Amino acid sequence: MVLDVTEGLQSAHEKGIVHRDLKPGNIIITPRGRAKVLDFGLARVTPGTASLTQSNPISGPSALVGTVPYMSPEQVRDGRVDASSDLYALGALLFEMTTGRRPFACDDVLSLLYQIAHEPAPLLRVVRPGLSAELDTVVARCLEKAPLRRFSDAGALLRALRGDSSDDGRGLPTRASSFAGGAPESGPGRGIQSLVMPPFENRSGDPTQEFFADGMTDALIADLAQIAALRVISRTSAMRFKGTHPPLSKLARDLRVDGVVEGSALRVGDRVRITVQLVDVADRSLWAKSYERGLTDILALQSDVAHAIADEIRIQVTPDERARLRSKGAVNPAAHVAYLQGSFLWNRFTGESVKEAIRR
């Protein structure tokens, strides 16, 4: 069924047509068992070709159209829609088909819109552990926040679903068992001896909290850099990617590392949540987890995350290194926040920011 729907989207996109409202209610199964996409009532013909280069997105006043649970982040944020938005909706459909739930579910519409626009979609294997890593990777790529990090077009997605290895090595095996788990994989993090940790995303929606996300990134880079068997890209190199969204596999290849640790940080009052995801050079999601603690236990939280990453990549950690990574004591929340703010300002290294850092 998914192949039929993807083929339908490919045909529409090649004609310059974007559906804009792909959802379960707009798909039927014919008597011959084929899936057909219906209700192009909200569809638009894009200017020129159906390129996914974002050069000709559909936008305009009151352009928020579609069915909210299947809207793409760009639809929610500013109503801009192109063929990549349909691929996001298809990813949401595939997520729902395989897990029995939507990527984002909330009774309050405004909260749901916020989640779609800002929160990372959960990984398939976190919701349903028996699913294959290949399927997890395909769905996660469809549900990327940044359109340019999704599949280049419906044809590329179709090749991945069919198991065509020519699509950057991201194809799905064609055996049905692969979707249910298939043959056991080797350890998820085996072979990772080097990694980069791009700046964590600030999930608060408040730009003044940027210092906190950067502080969490810095702390984890410093912790992991203590492991002699692991090569960790320096903070200076990692921070070059702040505010950018390069494909993680390209980032890994460009920096010649085996893996990428992508994360986000959210601070609400004295509560902290960190979400991390380990991705390999083939853009496969190997592991993901969220951690939540009170701000007084922030050092313990950082230690837990560093230990978990080391365990997942199965790197050799000596007893002395484990002791250095061991959970530390509680901190004074106000003092720790002031320290992170000062470090953030100092690292900007302008005359005014250095003076402000010293004052703090």
Q: Are 217 and 199 in contact (CB under 8 A)?
A: yes
Cα–Cα dist 158/68, whole Å: 25
Position 156, amino acid? A
Cα–Cα dist 313/105, whole Å: 32
Cα–Cα dist 50/316, whole Å: 49
Which residue matches tokens 């349903």?
Answer: 128
- DSSP character at residue 185: P
Q: What are the Cα distances from residue 31, in Å, to 6, 24, 28, 34? A: 19, 17, 10, 7
Q: Which of 21, 86, 258, 280 is catalytic?
A: 21
Say which residues have a Cβ less than 8 Å from residue 58's Cβ, sequence separation at least 6. Answer: 18, 20, 44, 46, 79, 80, 81, 82
Closest CA to 97 of 38, 160, 162, 22: 22
Q: How many helices (H) and strands (E) does the chain have?
A: 15, 10
Residue 235 CB neighbours (<10 A): 16
Handedness of CA 112, 7, 284, 183 (dihedral sign): positive
Closest CA to 290 of 310, 251, 325, 262: 262
Active site residue 21: yes
Distance of CA 255 to the CA centre of its chain: 19
Cα–Cα dist 116/137, whole Å: 19
Residue 98 CB neighbours (<10 A): 20
Which residue matches tokens 């990327």?
Answer: 144
Q: Give the residue numbers marked as catalytic.
A: 21
